[in-house]
Structure 1
Amino acid sequence: MPSLSYPTAFRIASREMRSSRGKFFFVILSVAIGVAALTGVRGFSNSFRTTLLTRARSIMAADLSARTNQQPTPSEAEGLATIEREGVQMTPVTELLSMASAAKTLDPLLISLKAVDPSAYPYYGTVDLEPTSTLQQVLTPDSVVVADDLLVRLHLQIGDQLKIGNKLFRIASVVTNEPDRLSSQFAAGPRVLISRQGLDASGLLAPGSHAGQRFLFKVPAPANGAPISDAAVADLKARLIKLLPESQITDYRETNPALTAGLDQATSLLSLMSLVALVLGAVGVAMAMRAHLQQRLDTIAIMKSLGAGSGQIIKIYLIQTLLLGLAGGVVGVGLGVGVQLAFPYLLASLINVRPELHLDLRAIAAGLGAGVLTTFLFTLPPLLDIRGIRPILILRRAVDETDEPWHVKLVRLFTKNLAQIGAFLLILAGLALIAFRISDSASVGKWFTVGLAAVLAVLLLASFLVLKALKFFLTRTRLHLPSAVRHGLANLYRPGNPSSALLAALGMGVMQIMMVFLMQNAVVKQLHISSAPNLPNIFLVDIANDEIDGMRKLLTSAPGITAPPELLPVVSSRILAIDGVSANDIKTKNFPKHMLRSIQLTWAEAVPPGATVASGKWWTKAQSAAAADHPVVAVADFQAKRLGLKIGSVITFAAQDKQFDATVAAFTRSDGQHAYSRAEFILPERALTGLPVIWYGGVHVDPTKVAALQRALYAAYPTVTVINVAQALETIRAVVIQIIYVVQFLAAFSIFAGIVILASSIAGTRYRRIREVVVLKTLGATRAHIASIFSIEFAVLGLVAGLVGVFFANIVVKGLLRALTVPNTFQWGWSLGGLFGTAILTVATGWIASHRILGQKPLEVLREE
């Protein structure tokens, strides 16, 4: 037979597609839903994540911050100037303690002064003022903006004069919230914002003054309008660490651990959803195309008997596959874009965020390419089966070939399917490429592909063993079972029925749907802890040891208190050596050595609120009792990395006249929202007995009662500084809650898409049942009997696939949650629900697709065939 041209192959393929619209509906539906979930979930999650990252940046008011207690050297200043010339914006923020007095009464008051350039500060977020205005409008060289408690303490009003240094300033407004309040130093005294010109005019910056300096940096946005990448921030951070070795460099992701953890976990979960949607669509394509090619065996055999070669027939069905993939991809991209645009309106009542949505043509092209590529890859195995089809085998395709020993069959199967093995490897390579493109991570692509291959192999093996076990069971109980049960179970391993492949495909689908559900369930539970409404939003600084009992009583009885107060004892100390290396010789990372002379120690007998043990072990009662002679210490993990510590390291501390060695027993990780979040070195109480203590506190107050509490605290303890971060923490809590809603919504959408794809895969098997129904009806079987047979087959198929899928989903989720440092417990209820839900879905979908067959007469069905 002459070679088949592509135009001719295209005409044959399109003609067959028109005559088999119903069959191809499932293929197009699987591709479309998979691509829609991929583009919709990925597109919206990227836009939403960009919006949330902007919120995260507002907590620092910049992309990066460099904190130092000294002015840059000439070489450092030149390096900063070079960075500015490259387009990076930079503004200094100076913080220091000073005395202020009212021009009327000259009452002195210790204040926390913060000097900024109102034309640049803040780069992200806003400074909230009362009455409403902008910092640039009210902050001039002759004016200041003050916290409300300063007005209370000095009996002043807006418009009065305040003397700072040797200059009088007009109080222009009251500051109610600073975007970077949580990343500023918690210093004693009410907050006062002053312009940099005003600070210079006050004369406070004399040589040798102990002013803290922060440099805020904003990375320039890309020219194509895309959001600032994490890589650009990381590159600038690395440059600043080299340029400013005595400065503490942090980026916006380090400002609030709860928000950072929430973003990281949500991003990982959303990427997983995109990959799951992709594979579920591929599973649906593979099942539907396999069912179609099984139905075309007669046509293929006839074409071969007329002289057509395997390559020519494969060309026809390859073109058909690509057309179906393209059609499904186009429909899916359209649905995905619609979904991406609809999500903000559907979520409008839940999240007060309207993401800036960009229809990224590259993302659309990636979604379309993924649809076509997965369709092609997953139909390769059935396409390659065409080479082995012979006309004579069609006549007995539903009959077992021989009764050879199992090892002979295994060898023959391996040698016969070398091309199939190659196709499987090609599928894995293609999925790895797509996974890398979606996740932007070679590691994610690699592990996703390796995990997929391992799980698929185990699922195929498990399906094979389950079918063998059923066959063995039937041989032992055949005469004791009702005929419908016997026939329904036997259908699972009848010749020509690809139950093993269908079981593996359904098992993988169930596994991935359950993975998304269990992952989002655990992540959302953890995020709910981070967004709890009773976290401290008022912090207290410098509580004397003899004031702590009275302070505890006041905080317990004051109106508006919603949770017990958290009180943190602090002992001032310094580090003399680490593992025998003197402090002057220690090699630190992004940690100014002068800070080794100002270390704060605290004690706790149990893991404090908001902290978890990242590595090592918390001390036992015996270790605590022996702490006076052999102290142990828990160190914040970020501080441990900067100091080069490891479990078992020995730190030599000095406090007052006492010097002692402490062995590192654990590294802790804090959520940044409790009083103990600022505790970097925690020891047993016995280790610090007899040393002078200053207390810090934290308590959650109803935001409407904050002002009243501040006045009560000032009246009872005028030397205690009250830090009001209620507004800042409410912002963080709102963002975390928004993350929760979006994760739940997108997970629900992905699960729904997966269920539709699985349903279409099951429905695609209806064409293999037509001939069986005809034969049974011809032999006199009633509709009820046939319905019982198929119901048992569907139910067992669903239960087995659900059991395998749910089992492996729990195993994979446990590993993923451990990698995300999210606590995990086995979800018995949801796992059983997934198991029986799969059985119900399988039975319902099978009958929705097959019920019409029962109502048709055998002759009508045979004519359709």
Structure 2
Amino acid sequence: MAWRDAKASKVRLLLFMASIILGIAAVVSIQLFSQNLTENIQRQSKTLMGADYIIDSRQAPSERAQAIIDSLQPDASEVNFVSMIAFPKNGGTKLVRVRGLEGDFPFYGAMQTNPVNAGTSYQGNGGALVDATLMLQYNVVPGDSIKVGSITLPIIGELISMPGSSAVSSSVAPPVIIPNRFIAETELLQFGSRKEYQFFYKAPSIDLEALEKNIDPILKLENADIDTHTSTSARLGQRYENVGAFLNLAAFIALLLGCVGIASSVNIYIKEKLKAIAVLKCMGASRKQSFLIFLIQIAGIGLIGGIIGTIIGAGLQELFPYILQEFLPFDVTINISIQPLIMGVLLGLFMSVLFALLPLIRTWYVSPLDVLRVTETSNQESAKARLVVVGLILVSLYLFSFWLLKDGLFALAFVGGVVVTFAVLAGVARGTMLIVKKYFPKKASFTMRQSLLNLYRPNNQTLVLLVAIGLGTFLISTLYFTKDILLAKTEVGNTSNSANIITLDVQPDQVEEVATTFKTNDLQVIDNISLVTMRMHSINGILVNTLRTDSTAQIRKWILNHEFRTTYRDELIASEEIVEGEWIDAIAPNEPITISISDNLADDANVTVGDPIVFNVQGVLMETTVGSIRKVDWARLQLNFSIVFPKGVLENAPQFNVLTTYAGTKEKSAGLQRDLVTAFPNVSIIDLRQVYNVVEDILSKVSWIINFMAFFSILTGIIVLIGSVRTSKYQRIKESVLLRTLGAKNKQILKISAFEYFFLGVLGSLVGILLALVSSLMLAIYVFKEPFVPSLIPFLVFLPGITSLVVFIGLSNIGGVLHSSPLEVLRKAE
């Protein structure tokens, strides 16, 4: 019976199967692609440092540190230091960071040079790679020479960008790269010279977290440090973790959209089968038999749909790299894992049966007497069964969302949000029917009255379609709003409002002249920040000199020798957030001084709010108290400070200024630097354009991933919505045929349907978008921890677009009625 009935209803069941296939295909493809992209993005993040991990030391490694370094067998090494170089061609001189490299670094990514092969040939040719902007500034080209200390080397090429150049804090000068074997010949490294040693490792299979945990404390004691590519990625905020969360969210929403299609399709299908079930009961079929007939149908279609959807999902997985290769500047390595494939088939079967159970239980309570009159509501005895099925659906959704989100609280909140959305939409549908019924416009035109009657009379589709349209729009809009949240996070901020040129050591009497130089080069001053240098004299009443010799002190040694560059201001900046204490913006004369410190400094210095710190401000001791602790996003390419004083304290202290600007091209940057070096030899210049190139390259890949997967899921949702509305055609065929038989014109029937679907489309999509605003705000605050600025696109595009789509599909549903005889249509409907 299940097979025979399915053959007779194959068109309607194919629509039901389409919802399963689309939902499962989206889930499988997104899950597979999510796994591969997580691995690929992590692999791409290695290009930020060019290696899997680095061990560095500010001095020649101690014997113990060197033993650790050698035991791990470095694949490349470097010594770098700041020094003056000269260009014999024109006599120009410049303070640069000389990097003496040995080995095939970088292991991930590549140096961007001009000519292209310069990054691989400079070692063998024994030449130098010089910062591209610096070459423009001094009018030198590849083939010219550069004098580094006691040796002169040919310039092999210009360096545009390089992995491992994102350490802004140490970039006080443009880079010049030479082979390590020439470092000794330069005679620049003498006793007491400030230098840094770095050892690069390529170890893709090693457990970096365990390695860092085991050897970092030992290296710290030897004034060395280990830095892994995963920790470098983490310092960029939550850009990478959020991509995984977003893709999981997209998979969950895709499945829910499929489930919406399943539930709405089966509800209408079973509703029309109640009379046939009553006939079976009259012929002696038991409750169990009539129930199993349709359960077997749904389970079989769910299994077939799950298999087809899984195959399509795996096929899409193979196609994605080809579809995206024009947009993604990296190759995606595809690996098909078995878990999502098995999950896809099982989800197809399980979700089909689960979401079909609610309408299926109506078959259990159909009475043989219903042959004569099929009631709109089922027997009251089904209330308990309905409650059990709803509970099973909620538990299953929670378990599935927990599997995806890996967080019990977030999974509960998300399922709760879906339930609330469903309840609101159902409430809006019920309320709409009551309002229309109570305030029915009896004097309206025939077509308008008929359309409004369709909203609440028996066999109406208001509840089913409003919930389907509203829930679908809610999920699609939530996905779009979430996409915007993540894309805002992946913006580096390299715009005219954010600085990419920083000038250091500008003396107070030079500020106006430097600002004038900016304007002469058609550049605007973005920031003018005062800096005061100081050292810590005592922490919590213990002198720094005492702490240096105390082996039991829980304070990182770098703090005791570090010269801090601090500033003063009366407000927080965008990259800061108070996590403890209270921000003090200004202090009156003779009041106790309260400062704000970064959370990493508080951890390393082992201090908290209320602890005293005495600073040595160029010979003058200043007593302060920690007033607040700030969380600082060091990943933002801007000037951030570990220590910030309130206004009213440091204004008269010896200080220098930092001025920043934005240069849109390397020519503008070179021209400004040339003028500044000529007029102000004491001023140091940091060009962040090279850093932006590396970071933007990686984050642009993340943006494309987010965009593509979001719109793929949105397209899936729209197709499922089409299926849901399309399935409703069988509820209106008989009414339309009867109207036509009674003399209604085709134009009137079209108007009746258009008004009904227009009202359902507008109301459902509007409520869905408004609910999506609320849910996206919650996701932004509690899951992604990002600010939420809602887009107008859902209101300007989704609202009219989905409404038009609903009207179009609704009108297409009755196309056969208008172009066929009433008898022919009724026979097909049966």
TM-based fold match above 0.5: yes
Q: Does residue 56 of structure 1 match 2:45?
A: yes
The farther-off stretch of 89-98 and 284-293 is 89-98
Q: 1:374 to 1:642 in 2, by over 3 A?
A: farther
Matched, 1:654 2:616: yes
What displacement does 1:691 show?
Answer: 2.2
List aligned pairs for 1:327-338, cutoff 5 A. Answer: 327-337=304-314
The secondary structure found in structure 2 opposite 1:114 is strand
Distance 2:675 2:604 in 1: 41
- Equivalent residue letter for 2:533: S
Say if 1:371 and 1:648 are closer, same or farther in 2 by CA, change over 3 A: farther
Residues 234 and 336 (structure 1), Cα distance of their counterparts in 2 relative to 1, 3 Å cut: same
Q: Is the 8 A contact 2:521 2:668 kept in 1?
A: no
Aligned to 2:427: 464
Write the distance in 1 (CA, Å) between the matches of 2:202 and 2:357: 50
**Alpha carbons of 1:513 and 1:618: their partners in 2 closer, same or farther (altered >3 Å)?**
farther
Give, in whole Å, the separation in 1 of the partners of 2:774 and 2:624. 43
Distance 2:115 2:796 in 1: 57
Residue type at the aligned position of 2:778: G
Report the Cα distance in structure 2 between the residues aligned to 1:782 and 1:100, rounded to whole angstroms. Answer: 90
Query: Residue 601 of structure 1 corresponds to which residue in structure 2?
Result: 566
Q: CA deviation at 1:279?
A: 0.9
- For residue 809 of structure 2, what is the amino acid of its counterpart? T
Q: 752-761 or 255-264: which moved more?
A: 255-264
Quick one: distance in 2 between partners of 1:533 and 1:619? 29
- Contact 2:398–2:411 under 8 Å retained in 1: yes
DSSP 3-state at the match of 2:514: helix
In structure 2, the residue corresponding to 1:125 is in which secondary structure? coil
Query: Quick check: 1:186–1:723 contact (8 Å CA) kept in 2?
Result: no
CA contact (8 A) 1:555 1:565 kept: no
2:100 corresponds to: 115
CA-CA distance at 1:280 after TM superposition: 0.4
* Structure 2 CA distance for partners of 1:856 and 1:652, relative to 1, 3 Å: farther
Taking a change above 3 Å as real, the CA distance of residues 37 and 543 of structure 1, as seen in their structure-2 partners, is: same
After TM superposition, list the pairs within 5 Å mapping 1:540-555 onto structure 2: 540-555=503-518
Partner of 2:370: 393
Q: Is the 8 A contact 1:248 1:592 kept in 2?
A: no
Equivalent residues in 2 for 1:118-129 (5 A)?
A: 118-119=103-104, 121-129=105-113
**Other structure's SS at 2:773 match:** helix
Q: Distance in 1 between matches of 2:699 and 2:553?
A: 33
Task: Report the secondary structure of 2:623's partner residue.
Answer: strand
Deviations 1:79-105 (A, max 9, x none): 5566x38xxx66544333456689999
Structure 2 residue 262 is matched with structure 1 residue 285: yes
Question: Over residues 422-445 of structure 1, what are the superposed CA-to-partner deviations in whole Å (9 max), with x where a residue is unaligned?
Answer: 3333333433444345x4x411x6
Tell me, yes or no, if the aligned pair for 2:421 and 2:471 is still in contact at 8 Å.
no
Do the aligned residues in 2 keep the contact of 1:64 with 1:237 (CA within 8 Å)?
Answer: no
Whole-Å separation in 2 of the counterparts to 1:489 and 1:248: 73
Structure 2 residue identity aligned to 1:845: I
Partner in structure 2 of residue 133 of structure 1: 117
Alignment pair present for 1:22 and 2:4: no
Q: Pick the aligned partner of 1:757 from 689, 703, 720.
A: 720
Q: Is the 2:525–2:660 Cα contact (8 Å) retained in structure 1?
A: no
Q: Which amino acid aligns with 1:841?
A: L
Question: Displacement of 1:758 after TM fit?
Answer: 0.9
Q: How far is 1:64 from its partner?
A: 3.6
Q: 2:675 aligns with which of 709, 712, 716?
A: 712
Per the alignment, residue 239 of structure 1 pairs with: 214
Change (3 A) 1:399 1:674: closer
Match of 1:532 in 2: 495
Is the CA contact (8 Å cut-off) linking 2:303 and 2:348 kept in structure 1?
A: yes
- SS of the equivalent of 1:676 reads coil
Aligned pair count reads: 818
Q: 1:392 Cα deviation (Å)?
A: 2.0
CA contact (8 A) 1:587 1:643 kept: no
Q: What secondary structure is seen at the aligned counterpart in 1 of 2:639?
A: helix
SS at 1:244's partner residue? helix
Please report how far the alpha carbon of residue 811 of structure 1 lies from its aligned counterpart in structure 2 after TM superposition.
Answer: 0.6
Question: What is the aligned counterpart of 1:323 among 281, 294, 300?
Answer: 300
Partner letter of residue 492 of structure 1? L
1:428 to 372, 376, 394: 394
SS of aligned partner of 1:117: strand
Q: Secondary structure at the match of 2:455?
A: helix
Per-residue deviation, residues 547-587 of structure 1 (Å, max 9, x unmatched): 3332222122126x4x5354443222233556667764899
Q: Does the alignment pair 1:302 with 2:279? A: yes
- Alpha-carbon spacing, 1:473–1:380, altered in 2? closer, same or farther (3 Å): closer
Matched with 2:80 is: 95
1:182 is aligned to 166
1:602 alignment partner AA: T
Q: 1:793 to 1:240 in 2, by over 3 A?
A: farther
Which deviates more, 173-182 or 588-597?
588-597
Distance 1:20 1:194, change over 3 A: same
Q: What is the letter of the counterpart of residue 801 of structure 1?
A: G
The whole-number CA distance in structure 1 between the counterparts of 2:785 and 2:635 is 16
Contact 1:61-1:179 at 8 Å conserved across structures? yes
Gap regions ≥5 residues in structure 1: 1-11, 223-231, 402-411
Shift of 1:778: 5.4
Secondary structure of the residue that 1:688 maps to in structure 2?
coil
TM-superposed deviation, 1:512: 0.7
Do 1:432 and 1:446's aligned partners in 2 also have CA atoms closer than 8 Å? no
Q: Which amino acid aligns with 2:79?
A: T
| Inter-partner Cα distance in structure 2 for 1:578 and 1:590 | 10
Report 1:558-577 matches (<5 A).
558=521, 561=523, 563-576=524-537
Shift in alpha-carbon separation, 1:313–1:239, aligned structure 2, 3 A: farther
**Does the alignment pair 1:695 with 2:678?**
no
Match for residue 173 of structure 1? 156
Q: What CA distance in whole angstroms lies between the structure 2 residues aligned with 1:104 and 1:853?
A: 87
Distance verdict in 2 for CA 1:42–1:156, change over 3 Å: closer
After TM superposition, the structure 1 = structure 2 runs for residues 111-260 of structure 1, keeping only pairs within 5 Å, are 111-119=96-104, 121-133=105-117, 135=119, 137-139=121-123, 145-147=129-131, 149=134, 162=147, 164=149, 168=151, 170-171=153-154, 173-176=156-159, 177-183=161-167, 186=170, 188=172, 191-199=175-183, 210-221=194-205, 232-246=207-221, 247=224, 249-252=226-229, 255=232, 260=237
Question: Which of 588, 592, 610 is residue 626 of structure 1 equivalent to?
Answer: 588
Q: Does 1:790 align with 2:753?
A: yes
- Alignment-mate amino acid for residue 244 of structure 1: L
Going from structure 1 to structure 2, the CA distance change for 1:428 and 1:92 (only over 3 Å counts) comes to farther
Deviates more, 1:651-660 or 1:590-599: 590-599
Q: 1:808 aligns with which of 752, 760, 771?
A: 771
Cα distance, 1:604 vs. partner?
A: 3.2
Match of 2:787 among 814, 823, 835: 823
User: Structure 1 residue 764: deviation in Å?
Assistant: 0.9
- Distance change >3 Å, CA 862–CA 625, structure 1 → 2: same
Kindly provide the amino acid, as one letter, of the partner of residue 422 in structure 2: L
TM-score (norm 2): 0.85
Deviations 1:435-480 (A, max 9, x none): 345x4x411x652454224432452355236424532552354645
Q: CA deviation at 1:30?
A: 1.3
Q: Return the letter of the residue paired with 2:661.
A: V
- Contact conserved, 1:456 with 1:508, CA < 8 A, in 2? no
Task: Measure, in 1, the Cα distance between the counterparts of 2:107 and 2:798.
Answer: 48
Kindly indicate whether the alpha-carbon contact (under 8 Å) linking 1:471 and 1:490 is maintained by their aligned counterparts in 2: no
Shift of 1:661: 0.9
Provide the rounded CA distance (Å) in 2 between the counterparts of 1:681 and 1:499.
61
RMSD: 4.2
Paired-residue identity, %: 22
Give 1:513 shift: 0.9
Partner of 1:404: none
**Residue 225 of structure 1 corresponds to which residue in structure 2?**
none
Kindly state the Cα deviation for residue 60 of structure 1 after the two structures are TM-superposed.
Answer: 1.7
Contact 1:522–1:824 (Cα < 8 Å) also in 2: yes
Equivalent-residue separation in structure 2 for 1:726 and 1:52 (angstroms): 23
Farther-moved stretch of structure 1 (690-699 vs 668-677): 668-677
SS of aligned partner of 1:508: helix
Moved more, 43-52 or 446-455: 43-52
Greater shift in the superposed pair: 468-477 or 147-156: 147-156
Q: Output aligned runs, 1:448-527, within 5 Å.
A: 448-460=411-423, 462-464=425-427, 466-468=429-431, 470-477=433-440, 479=442, 482=445, 484-497=447-460, 499-525=462-488, 527=490
